[in-house]
Structure 1
Amino acid sequence: MMKSCSHFPALLLLLLLVAACCRVPPAESVTCSPYELLPCVGAIMYSVLPSDQCCSTLREQQPCLCQYIRDPTLGSYVNSPNSHRVADACRLPFPRC
């Protein structure tokens, strides 16, 4: 004989409530603006250590880096050895575009 599944609807409702409450909020969209990288100019251009502000900005702009690399005006700066060094110093992976 099979057992009755009288608790199934309540269990399903509980699982749906938990899933709705524990849902990860959507990521905020990033505004891709190369001007946001200004705190990193000294580190990229003059090989100085990146500031905390630079690293923070770089983290925020990370989804935009491939767009900047493809830009004919910005690409050589963003994809330069110094930019790779700055990303390493900030402990960020450099994108593969």
Structure 2
Amino acid sequence: MKKGVAAALFVVVVMAALAHETVAVTCTATELISCLGPITTGEAPSAECCAKLKEQQPCFCQYINNPQYKPYFDSPNAKKLADACKVTIPTNC
């Protein structure tokens, strides 16, 4: 019986470790090209756009601090897009 409990505990620990494993994101602004329409015209975002925003969310500060991309995050449609895709644009980068 003790072996069974130990085995079960081992499985739980391994599963917990895997659940906390972080997946590295490559910050590539061109991954957000499907969001260009919504950010510039205010049109509804596609599922692809929202998926890419969620994937690239750890990169937002890097993009915001880049003068080339900052205007897109400061645009009037940025909050609308973020709300539609349920992502948060950081304000303290």
1:58 to 53, 57, 60: 53
2:35 to 25, 35, 40: 40
* Bigger radius of gyration: 1
Which one has a larger percent helix, Structure 1 or Structure 2? 2
Shift of 1:44: 0.2
| Structure 1 residues 52 and 25: alpha-carbon distance in aligned structure 2, compared to 1, 3 A threshold | same
Q: Which string of whole-angstrom CA distances, capped at 9 and with x for unpartnered residues, describes residues 17-72 of structure 1? A: 23134322512111101100100000001110111110000000000011000001
Q: Which has the higher contact order (CA 8 A, sep 6+)?
A: 2
Q: What corresponds to 1:49 in structure 2?
A: 44
Write the distance in 1 (CA, Å) between the matches of 2:74 and 2:86. Answer: 16
Q: Structure 1 length normalisation: TM-score? A: 0.77
TM-score, length of structure 2 as denominator length: 0.80
The residue aligned with 1:90 is 85
Structure 2 unaligned regions, length at least 5:
none
RMSD: 2.1
User: What per-residue deviation string (whole Å, max 9, x for no partner) do you get for residues 57-96 of structure 1?
Assistant: 0000000011000001111112322111100011112223
Runs of 4+ in structure 1 over 3 Å off: none
